[in-house]
Chains A and B, each alone.
Chain A
Amino acid sequence: MQLFVNIIVLSSIYALIACGYVLIYRVSRVLNLAHGELMMLGSYLLLTTASSFSGHPAAAIAAAVVLSLTVGVLVYVFLMRKMTGEMALAAVLTTVALGILLRGLMVLIWSAQQQYPGQALGFSNPAIALPGGGRISTFAALLVLATALTYAALFFFLRFGRWGVRMRAAGQNPLLAAQRGINLHAVYALAWGLSTLTGSIAGMLISLDSGLTNTMVIIGLKAFPAALVGGLDSLAGALVGALIIGAAEVLSIQYIDPLLSDVVPFLILIAMLVVRPWGLFGTREELDRV
């Protein structure tokens, strides 16, 4: 039972992070390798707002969420906008460079020590006993809930929302979308904002659950195989991919070798690239576009 709970928690972490990769890739065909850093930035923002809004945890969280959305939009406006229309690879390398820059800046601003935003907000993190003998910490449970809510919201937004339809249109055919009067830059900026937002929510909940160090970047990077296994342009795929990666990782820690846990996602990634490079639910012609 505990094993099952662990799989669900880890999978929802990966799913929540992976939807950020998918959002940006689906809309603008850019792979954002700075997603792990942006996600960590979100949890550091929470740390800062927690100390400036001390005593009002709700206000602190709301402020951090708004700030992370702003950060995502700003990244697009000031950096990635210049890379639209460039080679896909140049854009990817720009995000890599952005990641390195952010990593340096975060250490400069917040130092490299382990920090606990949960304590700063005055939250405790009691374990909840589940029927069947498993235990789950409060914030891990919240994380599973947040993942479910985020995915539901994104599905409805992309299906019925005015901007959601615009985002899908821009992803399908940017030229036609622009000709129909869709402001591509606004759509791309929104995609970056939403992606950073979902990533930051994941980062905040992870840091509330287990503290905040710069190893969080690795979690962000390990969520990328989840996105690719499911298909880089499919949100439903990201959920399934996260479940596969999460289960494989937990089971290999349990039964094979804990050291293996950092590699298993990438082993699955390679297997997937060999068998079905466009992912379980991805579009097949994706491959020829890059």
Chain B
Amino acid sequence: MSDRMPRASGYFRTGYAQEMALTKTRLERASLFVFVVLLLAFPYFASAFYLDLANQVFLAAIGALSLMLLTGYAGQVSLGHAGLLAAGAFTAGILYKEINAPIYLTIPAAAVTGAVLGVIFGLPSLRLRGLYLAVSTLALHFIVVYLGGEYETKRGFSTGITIDAPVIAGFRLYGGKIWYFILLTFAAGTLLICVNLLRSRTGRAWRAIHSHETVAEALGISIAGYKLLAFVISSAMAAVAGALFAYYRSFVSVEAFSLFLSIQYVAMIIIGGMGSLLGALLGAVFVTLFPYLIEAALMKLPNAQSYAGLLFAVNYAAFGVVMILFLVFEPQGLVGIWRRIQTYFLLWPFKHKPVAGARK
């Protein structure tokens, strides 16, 4: 197989199987291998701080990938993603507190909760489009977060629910390194599910709905079914991310799931680049690391300690600026920049793509 694989210089696909293949060229396969090895080796070299950063990136990546499926591919806008994360986190937290459920029950339970909420979040999409749909998801976010807060106050956990480190077969899941591998597995699994959905019938149906609903319906695609499916799958993934977040932080509180978190997820897929899974990953990395970059930059300034209290305000302002810059000047996001660089080198010494380019 390997010697029949083309090099990056040409696009000699002669069958559908080649078009569907996960890695298309030798270079792609080799770089993927190197990347995986680096990912697996990372926790043995990194300090606790960088491990924590990586874990946050993985959590964000699961959420961003699920939102990308919904918004970037199926074209259904959601401003309530944090509500779904909250639902997952609270499912895990409540099951743990009330019946002391183990992690291998709470995570599937979170997924089920997410799927049910996905139907609820998705129902308005059968009637509403664009702006109005965004508003309805925004409203649902507030309702989910309210229900979580209501549980906290009624049961007397007004500062939040603490969750002990889960135990599987006598083995305690605790510490950055173990969670690195758990979260990496979940993130990779999510990515694989997304890739497979997108290169199959479901993904094509979503893209058709995104481009033109009426035409998609004329092609025999069940609009309602596939829209709801997009919401259900995306919400289930987000809820699992929320449950993992709860276990990773050992703590659930409604304060963590503000509207700002929803906006951050939307920002991830915009900054990363709409309609691209790579974009979701890049966006997750960028948005997660951004506050730490700002903090590091701020601490370089003279008498840094006096600014420490203002850090969150600086973060807010800088985040707003970056989001505006991407929306106005680079709507394609980081992936757009990446593709432009790629095209530049692929075409060098020429400047422009042929009209019917082989590569998008």
Docked CA distance A79–B323 (Å)? 12
Decide: A88 near B131, CB < 8 A? Known: A104-B315, A225-B139, A259-B150. Answer: yes
B149 at the interface (CB under 8 A from A): yes
Which residues of chain A are near B179, meaning CB under 8 Å?
none
- A64-72, A139-147, A267-275 - the one binding chain B: A267-275
A90 at the interface (CB under 8 A from B): yes
- A45-53, A95-103, A159-167, A186-194 - the one binding chain B: A95-103
Contacting A at CB under 8 A, from B260-289, are 260, 263, 266-267, 270
Per-residue B-contact encoding for A90-121, CB less than 8 Å = 1, 0 else: 10111011111111110110001000000000
CB distance from B146 to the nearest CB of A (A): 4
A287 at the interface (CB under 8 A from B): yes
CB distance from B250 to the nearest CB of A (A): 26
Which residues of chain B are near A108, meaning CB under 8 Å?
310, 313-314, 317
Total A-B contacts with CB atoms under 8 angstroms apart: 122
Docked CA distance A104–B316 (Å)? 5
Q: Are A99 and B320 in contact (CB under 8 A)?
A: yes
Q: Are A89 and B131 in contact (CB under 8 A)?
A: yes
Interface size on B, residues (CB 8 A): 43
Which residues of chain B are near A266, meaning CB under 8 Å?
138-140, 142-143
Q: Are B323 and A97 in contact (CB under 8 A)?
A: yes
A223 at the interface (CB under 8 A from B): no
CB distance from A251 to the nearest CB of B (A): 17
Nearest CB in chain B to that of A79: its residue: B324
Decide: A100 near B323, CB < 8 A? Known: A262-B146, A266-B143, A287-B132. Answer: yes
B22 at the interface (CB under 8 A from A): no
Decide: A90 near B314, CB < 8 A? Known: A263-B143, A266-B139, A266-B142. Answer: no
Q: Are B324 and A277 in contact (CB under 8 A)?
A: no
A235 at the interface (CB under 8 A from B): no
B221 at the interface (CB under 8 A from A): no
- B10-18, B51-59, B122-130 - the one binding chain A: B122-130
Interface size on A, residues (CB 8 A): 42
Which residues of chain A are near B129, meaning CB under 8 Å?
287-288, 290
Per-residue A-contact encoding for B193-227, CB less than 8 Å = 1, 0 else: 00000000000000000000000000000000000
Q: Which 5 A-B pairs have the closest CB atoms?
A: A101-B320, A104-B316, A104-B317, A97-B323, A107-B313
Interface residues of B (CB under 8 A from A): 77, 123-124, 127-132, 134-136, 138-140, 142-143, 146, 149-150, 153, 259-260, 263, 266-267, 270, 310, 312-321, 323-324, 327-328, 331
Would you give 27 A-B contacts (Cβ < 8 Å), ordered by A?
A: A86-B331, A89-B130, A90-B331, A92-B131, A92-B134, A93-B323, A96-B263, A96-B323, A99-B320, A100-B317, A100-B323, A101-B316, A101-B320, A104-B316, A107-B312, A108-B313, A112-B313, A228-B135, A266-B138, A266-B140, A267-B139, A270-B139, A270-B143, A287-B129, A287-B132, A290-B130, A290-B131
